[in-house]
Chains A and B, each alone.
Chain A
Amino acid sequence: MQRRGEVLLLLGPCVLYLVAFSVYPLVTSLFRSFEDYNSQQNTWRWIGLGNYRQLFSDTEFWHTVEHTAFLTFGGVALQVVLGTALALFFNQRLRGATLVRGLVILPMLLTPVVVGLMWRALLNPDWGMLNWLATQVGFHNVQWLTDPSMALRTLILVDTWQWTPFVFVVVFARLQALPVDVFEAGEVDGATWFKRLRYLTLPLLMPAIAFAAIFRGIDAFRTFDLVYGLTNGGPVRSTSTLSFQAFQNGFQYFHYGYASAIAYVMVIVAIVGVTVMLRFVRVRREDI
């Protein structure tokens, strides 16, 4: 009995707080996704699966799904490759590497909206630094943010600049924790650098890489701030993500019910992602 009192005392406030400010809003959203909001009269009307039916037959929604998937899989794949390469690179202990490592981590601490602002300046077609560099080495002016077929790739580029450091930190920490003698044995056996990487280092790093990829994937899936700051979903909605579409429907067009339906599709996907991820995360020591 005393045990139960202790649990309630220590855990109760935290759980109650989350129920009030996370569970309750989440459940409310679920109900709202079955309703239609009338912004003139501020009334809600139950329409069952109406929002979902409308959603799944909306080509714009499917385009948004495509963008989000491209950002989630393409972007994260790029970040995983670059981040792992960075980790391997920094593992060779160069002089001055610690300083550069500090710089590399900086982007992911920044407010995404400000990152968007910063890159809008860099990518400006008329006076941005990146186009100046591109023309210097013989490329044409690139319409980074104004060409609908380019903008999503640009978004991924900026996302990669900001979040590759995350993969790097996770993989690098794992790399540093690996036993050195395994590698020395590999070297003595005369295995080439590539063979050691392929058969020794990468398999040992795999749990960290998988964890970083899934963690990053769930975050990339929810991308909102960067879209807001960099492209505002445009041009012609070519960079609209699910979060952004839900946001626009909810806060700009006052289609609260429809927005909640989009958000709930996201929640379902996120739950699947988190379930997969939790296989890679040790929540408590006893769980392993």
Chain B
Amino acid sequence: MSAHTVGRIVSYVVLVLIGLVALAPFVFLLIISFKSRIDVLEVPPSLHFSTAQIRENYSQVINDKGFLTFIKNSVIVTGVATLIALGLGIPAGYAFSRLKFRASGHWASTILSFRFMPPVAVAIPIYLMIRDLGLVNSYLGLILPYVAFSLPLVVWIMIGFFDEIPREIDDAALVDGCSRASALFRVLLPLARPGMMVAATFGVIFIWNEFLVGLYIVNSSSRETIPIAASALLTVESPIDWNLAAATGILTVIPVLLFSLFVQRYIVRGITAGAVR
């Protein structure tokens, strides 16, 4: 065998190992989620599964613990908050990209830096605000702060994408008698669609996973989002029923997995534009 062939083989072994490291935790979780509470303790886990047990575990999580409600809550909160963030962030990104005004670069950096503020620094005042507004345990109580958390990211991503569109295009639209607003909506937005997808993707990931601020705004399971519900599972019920915890974990992973299949190229573009979480 030539050195080249050996090198290739080593490379493929490494490739498989990398894949295993990334995937193994999910597989283990999946196996645990198929077991009865006692069988979880078996080392190494046997790979004989009973369909009845699987159905039992998942139906407990879905029906008895109301997992579908958590999904519904997450979808509503994430969807609405992301749309509002886009609605506010796209015009702002456009303004930063196209209009010259005093210290605009400075303003943009300031907005951007909110992306990096420690959430604990605002968690308490936001909680008190939401409480005073009477919005505890409501969707709006979660949506209002989540928009603010994802907004800097949306602005940041949109500036980048608007910058990539040649200025001549909106100049032409303006000469043709469009107002700024209609130039933005009719001409530029269709061109900036990939940017909007990237911004939306990251808004969704961020809001879907947010948990520190939501934890105290919501305290009834009828409004809990998935991360909040998952955390309740960890702390409230001790000892943990690991088979059910694992089933919950798997059910939270599935939406993320499906989502990532559809938006993978946007994720890569977004991260390289400097955005994640």
Contacts and interface: CB of A to CB of B under 8 A. Distances in A.
Interface residues of A, number: 98
Interface stretch (A58-66, A182-190, A194-202, A214-222): A214-222
Given A129-B28, A250-B124, A278 B249 contact: no
A13 B21 contact: no
B207 to A, nearest CB: 11
Given A117-B234, A127-B41, A250-B120, A105 B148 contact: no
Contacts of B268: 105, 169, 173
Nearest to B106: A283
B85 to A, nearest CB: 9
A107 interface: yes
A271 interface: yes
B125 A28 contact: yes
Contacts of A116: 234
B113 interface: yes
Chain B: interface secondary structure?
A: helix
B94 A102 contact: no
Interface stretch (B51-59, B189-197, B208-216): B208-216
Contact of B260 (A105, A264, A278): A105
A228 B276 contact: no
A129 B88 contact: no
A3 interface: yes
Given A6-B99, A127-B42, A274-B116, A14 B89 contact: yes
Interface residues of B, number: 99
Interface in A59-100: 86, 89, 92, 94, 96-97, 99-100
B274 A211 contact: yes
Contacts of A232: 235
B227 interface: yes
Nearest to A104: B22
A181 interface: no
Interface string B173-212: 0000000110010000000000000000000010011011
B95 A106 contact: no
Contact of A6 (B41, B95, B155, B256): B95
A29 B118 CA distance: 12
Given A9-B181, A113-B227, A126-B41, A270 B116 contact: yes
A210 interface: no
Contact of A17 (B43, B147, B180): B147
A9 B81 CA distance: 21
Q: Which of A99, A122, A127, A211 has the most CB of B within 10 A?
A: A127
Contact of A247 (B24, B107, B120, B208): B120
Contact of B264 (A7, A102, A108, A219): A102
Given A109-B205, A229-B231, A274-B113, A284 B99 contact: no
Contact of A14 (B32, B41, B151, B215): B151
B208 A111 contact: yes
B124 A92 contact: no
A25 interface: yes
A281 B122 contact: no
Given A105-B267, A114-B252, A264-B121, A225 B95 contact: no
Interface of A: 3-4, 6-7, 9-11, 13-15, 17-18, 20-22, 24-26, 28-29, 32, 86, 89, 92, 94, 96-97, 99-100, 102-114, 116-122, 124, 126-127, 129, 132, 161, 165-166, 169-170, 173-174, 211, 215, 218-219, 221-222, 224-225, 228-229, 232, 242-243, 246-247, 250-251, 256, 259-260, 262-264, 266-267, 270-271, 273-274, 277-278, 281, 283-287
Closest A-B pairs by Cβ, 9 of them: A21-B148, A25-B125, A14-B92, A10-B95, A263-B121, A25-B122, A28-B125, A173-B272, A10-B91
Interface of B: 11-12, 14-15, 18-19, 21-26, 28-29, 32, 40-45, 88-89, 91-92, 94-97, 99, 101, 104-105, 107-109, 111-114, 116-127, 129, 144-145, 147-148, 151-152, 155-156, 159, 163, 180-181, 184, 205, 208-209, 211-212, 215-216, 226-227, 230-231, 233-235, 242, 245-246, 248-249, 252-253, 256-257, 259-260, 264, 267-268, 271-272, 274, 276-277
Given A169-B271, A173-B268, A283-B108, 20 more contacts: A6-B99, A7-B95, A18-B114, A18-B152, A25-B129, A86-B18, A94-B12, A96-B15, A106-B26, A113-B230, A117-B248, A122-B28, A127-B41, A165-B22, A222-B118, A222-B120, A262-B120, A263-B124, A284-B105, A287-B105
